[in-house]
Amino acid sequence: MDIRVNWIGFKTLVRKEILRVVRIWVQTIVPPAITMTLYFIIFGNLIGRRIGMMDGFDYMQYIAPGLIMMSVITNSYGNVVSSFFGAKFGKHVEEMIVSPMSNATIIVGHVAGGVMRGLMVGGLVTIIALGFTDLDVAHPLITFSMVILASTVFALLGFVNAVFANKFDDISIIPTFVLTPLTYLGGVFYSISLLPEFWQKVSLGNPILYMVNAFRYGILGVSDISIGWAYLIVAVFVVGLFALNLMLLNRGVGIRE
Amino acid sequence: MRALSIQNLTKIYANGTEALKGIDFNVESGDFYALLGPNGAGKTTAIGIMTSLVNKTSGTVEIFGHDIDTDLESAKACIGLVPQELNMNLFDSVLNIVVNQAGYYGIDRRTALQRAEKYLSELRLWDRKDDSARNLSGGMKRRLMIARALIHEPKLLILDEPTAGVDIEIRRSMWDFLRRTNEAGTTIILTTHYLEEAENLCRHVAIIDEGRIIEDAKMSEVLRKLQREIFVLSLRDPLTKAPTLPGFETSLRNDGELEVVLDAKDDLNSLFDVLTRAGISVVSLRNKANRLEELFMGLVEGKHQVSGGQGD
């Protein structure tokens, strides 16, 4: 592998992805900001005042980390799936496939683009959250590392979705029927200690629960699950999904006949 | 040095279509090579395999000595591809499209911008560099794909019907550009349905039909195989019926022009001798069809007639 070719290729991909996000900011940045503002107003402010405290924090403070993580996850996923599927649909994926850039670089470049959008939107949602509540970051390193890792996992998942997608419907099915339910059931709005024991155990099978709780631990210092487990699970997902994507691209699934 | 070496290349698609049935051909470095064939013959599949857009079923492909099975990235670095179908982000700017492509080939941004100015200027697109690609005309989009393919200055340029749907003026300016590119040392493989284009530009020709190479030789050698040519003669004094010219088959066209068939053994001097003796004055003369086209039709149609006969 030519390191120089791949490094410049990687930088080109990241630059292209960031410019794409900025160019269509009305589609990429504004909608999550509006949605999250509504969540803060309705769930945090109006309903939250009736709910009272959760795990020692007022409800607005409790849901803020989950909402930030939710926006990071959905935007990282959405960026990669729409960008790579768009490239397939418009056939300009061929620009990358014919080049000497390795498949690993194509994946990492798109994932980095997804993470960048996740962080841009996550940063904006954090600023919005600070307009509603105070957030003291208890463990900055855990907060930052977990947001990067979670964003990476969902960017990689978005890539898998894009590889298999043949039409635009295919890139909305997974977010609608899998990602959104798992996110809502992943402890964004509640502590799983509120659930019956059976559903607590079922919830432990949801990977988003670990990411949301580890991120919440980084900010508030409280979590429903072990932080060590959270890192282990997220790391396994990163490695496993990267290997899966690499195998798919090497075989040419969805891009080569 | 061989720019391209293909040995026993086969491709069977998932639906069972056998697109390539074991083709062999070599392209020497510096050559201008025409790969011709009717629609569905296997040209684009062969190019897809060379550029790793299509997985081969079996066989070997080497680009400047780099085997695509063992040294794919080096092989890819040697190739610039102008595909048959538009494959660019039409919402991106002209400049971004070529500069990003340079980045994928490991060319730093400063060099990429210099080269982009060079190639976009040569292809008369520099004035449109900030325009979105979707706002370009069809011919401009084709030229943009050529600039993009050249941005990493490949040793082998593959053009899959680059002038399809392009007006004659732009087509001829593209021919001049491709000639200059080839003279500068770039090996070129061209597929086209305009056989005049192949005859004008290429020094070597391969004809592929139904997944097999049916002709592969120097252009001059191929054209020498042409058994007969039909010339159209404009006459100073129009005739009312076709004249009898000893040794030549003639017919009169609706517009009063005379068609004369020349076999390979005949020459134009003897035709003009006969015409002079018959008192027929010729104002101008042209081929009825492009010579390569006649040969191509003879080869492809002849083969189909033979295979049709066998099937009956």
| Cβ distance of B88 and A1 shorter than 8 Å | no
Give B 68-87 residues with CB within 8 A of chain A.
Answer: 73-74, 76-77, 79, 81, 83, 85-87
Q: What is the pLDDT of residues A71-128, one digit of tens each?
A: 999 999 999 999 999 999 999 999 999 999 999 999 999 999 999 999 999 999 999 9
Please write the tens of the pLDDT for every residue from B163-189: 887 888 888 889 999 999 999 999 999
Where does chain A have alpha helices with state H?
3-23, 25-28, 30-39, 48-51, 59-89, 93-97, 103-130, 140-164, 170-174, 180-184, 197-203, 207-220, 227-251
CATH number at residue B248: 3.30.70.1560
The complex's ipTM works out to 0.90
Indicate if B123 and B140 belong to the same structural domain: yes
Q: Is the residue at B302 inside a domain?
A: no
Residue type, B290: N
B310 found inside a domain: no
CA atoms within 13 A on the CB side of B291: 17
Chain B residue with the nearest C-alpha to that of A102: B73
Q: What is the distance between the alpha carbons of residues B212 and B41, in angstroms, rounded to a whole number?
A: 8
Question: Could you tell me the pLDDT band of residue B303, with boundaries at 50, 70 and 90?
Answer: low
Same domain, B251 and B203: no
pLDDT at res. B219: 87
- The answer to whether position B62 is within a domain reads yes
One domain for residues B130 and B254: no
Q: Does A27 touch chain B (CB under 8 A)?
A: no
The predicted pLDDT at position B211 comes to: 94
Place of tokens 């009312």: B240
Contact list, B14 vs chain A (CB under 8 Å): 257
Look at residue B303 and tell me if it is in a domain.
no
Give the pLDDT confidence of B42-98 residue by residue, as tens digits. Answer: 999 999 999 999 999 999 999 999 999 999 999 999 999 999 999 999 999 999 999
Is residue B287 domain-resident? yes
Residues B133 and B187 in one domain: yes
Other C-beta atoms closer than 10 Å to the C-beta of B255 total: 8
Residue B305, pLDDT score: 56
A165 is written with which tokens? Answer: 């997608």
Q: Rounded distance, CA A166 to CA A173, Å?
A: 12
Mean pLDDT score of chain B: 90
Residue B279 in contact with partner chain A when CB distance is under 8 A: no
| Partner-chain contact A101 B54, CB within 8 Å | no
For residue A256, the chain B residues in CB contact (below 8 A) are 52-55
Q: Which regions in chain A score pLDDT beneath 70? A: none
Q: Is B273 a domain residue?
A: yes
Do residue B215 and residue B86 come from a single domain? yes
Which SS3 state, helix, strand or coil, does residue B86 take? coil
CATH (domain of B30): 3.40.50.300
Cβ contacts of residue B55 below 8 Å, gap of 6+?
A: A252, A256, A257, B49
pLDDT score at A56: 87
Q: Please judge whether B55 and A9 are an interchain contact, meaning their C-beta atoms are less than 8 angstroms apart.
A: no
Cα distance between residue B200 and residue B175, in whole Å: 9
Same domain, B51 and B178: yes
Both B165 and B260 in one domain: the answer is no
Domain final residue pick, B193, B223, B253? B223
Which range marks the domain in which residue B130 is found? 2-223
Task: Kindly list the distances between the CA atom of residue B204 and the CA atoms of A159, B28, B31, B178, in Å, as whole numbers in the listed order.
Answer: 43, 10, 7, 15
Give yes or no for residue B127 having a pLDDT over 50. yes
Alpha helix stretches (DSSP H) within chain B: 43-50, 72-77, 94-104, 109-122, 138-150, 168-183, 195-201, 219-224, 268-277, 291-311
Same domain, B13 and B107: yes
pLDDT value of position B165: 79
Same domain assignment for residues B93 and B156: yes
Question: Domain ends where: B203, B223, B243?
Answer: B223
CA-CA-CA-CA dihedral for A77, A79, A84, A86, to nearest 10: 130
% of chain B beyond a pLDDT of 70: 95
Distances (CA, A) of B308 to A130, B21, B60: 79, 19, 31
Dmax (CA) for chain B in angstroms is 71
Q: Mark whether B58 and B201 lie in a shared domain.
A: yes
Give the whole-angstrom CA distance, residue B16 versus residue B13.
Answer: 5
Contact between chains at B79 and A99 (C-beta distance less than 8 A): no
| Structural domain total, chain B | 2
B25 part of a folded domain: yes
- Whether residues B36 and B69 fall in one domain: yes
| Segment 59-88 of chain A within 8 Å of chain B by CB | 86-87
- Residues B142 and B270 both lie in one domain: no
B301 in any annotated domain: no
